[in-house]
Amino acid sequence: MISAESRLRLAAKARLRFDRKSSRYMLLYPERGLVLNPTAADVLQRCDGERTVDSIVEELARQYGHERPAVEREVMAFLQNMADRGLVQAVA
Amino acid sequence: MSGAERPYTLVAELTYRCPLRCVYCSNPLDYGQHREELDTETWLRVLREAEDLGVVQLNLTGGEPLVRDDVEALIAEARRLDLYTNLITSGIPLRRERLARFRELGLDNVQISIQDTEAVASDRIAGRRSFERKLTVAAWVKELGFPLTLNTVLHRANLDHVADIVALAEQLGADRLELANTQYLGWALPNRAALLPTPAQLGQAREVAAEARRRLRGRMEVLFVTPDYYTDLPKACMDGWGRRFIVLSPDGLALPCHAAHTLPGLRFESVRERSLGDIWRDSAGFGAFRGESWMPEPCRSCERRGIDFGGCRCQAFHLTGNAAATDPTCRLSPDHHLIETARREAADASSRPLLYRSPRGVAVERRSP
């Protein structure tokens, strides 16, 4: 399970790419790809193995000017989903 | 073109040559007639044209792509274009140093095929000794830091081994396991009676795969592709004709799928003569089954027509003689009895000889005693 203290990075098989056709980021992995909404892209770009989930939430709440609890719920749910799909991994 | 079409994936069949002779190979039966392979410069141009069309995924496949000595150049260009590049290989003609070089050049993923979980059975399907070598290469892939996809094509002789295949994939540290039931096209069609599983086998294997998917969630992606012969619904072949994929044959034909050039009466064009973009946008072959206007009933008024796109055109042709027919795997197809007959034949468990892939094609092979 992902926690506020987890430090995440993209899985070895996953890579972010800016798609100029849709002006969105895509997360590419074998045979598949996800077109990311801007928030999802902001989150995954910060999964660098150094930032904690908590610090990503903090940064984005400030950047968007949104209430922290709402941002936290959204980010945690998204990252848990990405982890279940093996697209992000916790750094040991 | 409606504008809804955008190719996301280029399947680059670099060659039809291969050291293996797998009995379910998806290359066309007459692959031995397609000898004039594209040169490196043309492939590099095609990669640029593909990226310009919107392609983000590149599969380097074949045949065995590694029999060519320009894979390095293609990986480097693909990386420059920021394509996600997947090398699909038997692992046979590969040295560790070459694989390490691919890593430096930016190859993203390596996919290795494993035919079964022990050497005798695996080599019987591949038509040559290869199993031990594959395990060695799979270990290199992980040692060098690549993500590893393991692919096993499933059929009657190995469906009962799915639990062992999962265990082998775990042991090799695979990131992704594709358990793909045989598609009965190419060399698999003449071998269908020997390869088609029974429903009982299939049901059990599906359960084993589902359990593995739950258990390995987040660690290994486990895919199980059910054979359309048993779904009573057609598969969304290639996500629809000319919608998401371009397959480029070794001799330069731009195709909507691996086998489209086996359909008579369709004209497919070569990237030697026109740009990939022009062919994608307005060639007769890509246009033939785009959209819904070609559809017969029961597809034309079916609520699933936007889901399965009428199924597989090549399967329709090779089973009924009409590429514009509803895919016979659909229970609503007037030709569905062809599938039911094949299933009944599969229930007869007597063993049948295997026809191995060969550049001489099928006719000659069949004459052997």
Any B CB within 8 A of A50 CB: no
**Residue where the block lists tokens 């990131």:** B175
Closest alpha carbon within chain A to B107: A13
Model confidence band, residue B3 (pLDDT cutoffs 50, 70, 90): low
Type and span of the H or E element at B228: none
Closest C-alpha among B268, B291, B272, B298 to residue B280: B268
| pLDDT surpasses 80 at B161 | yes
**A64-71 mean pLDDT:** 94
Contact map slice: A 6-45 vs B, CB within 8 A: 11-13, 15, 17, 19, 21, 26, 28-31, 33
Q: What is the pLDDT of residue B347?
A: 80
Q: What is the pLDDT of residue B327?
A: 97
Closest CB to A15 among B59, B84, B111: B84
| pLDDT surpasses 70 at B257 | yes
- The nearest CA of chain B is from the CA of A30 a distance in Å of 7
Any B CB within 8 A of A65 CB: no
Higher pLDDT, B48 or B352: B48
**A69-92 mean pLDDT:** 94
CB contact under 8 A, A31 and B9: yes
| pLDDT surpasses 50 at B369 | no
CB contact under 8 A, A86 and B218: yes
A contact test, residue of B84, B110, B146 with most A CBs within 10 A: B84
What are B175-233's pLDDT values in tens digits?
Answer: 999 999 999 999 999 999 999 999 999 999 999 999 999 999 999 999 999 899 999 99
Collect all residues with Cβ–Cβ distance below 8 Å to B212 and sequence separation of at least 6: B163, B166, B177, B220, B222
Q: Residues B226, B60, B136, CA angle at the centre, nearest 5°?
A: 80
What are B104-144's pLDDT values in tens digits?
Answer: 999 999 999 999 999 999 999 999 999 999 999 999 999 99
| Residue B37 CB neighbour total at 10 angstroms | 20
**B338-346 mean pLDDT:** 92
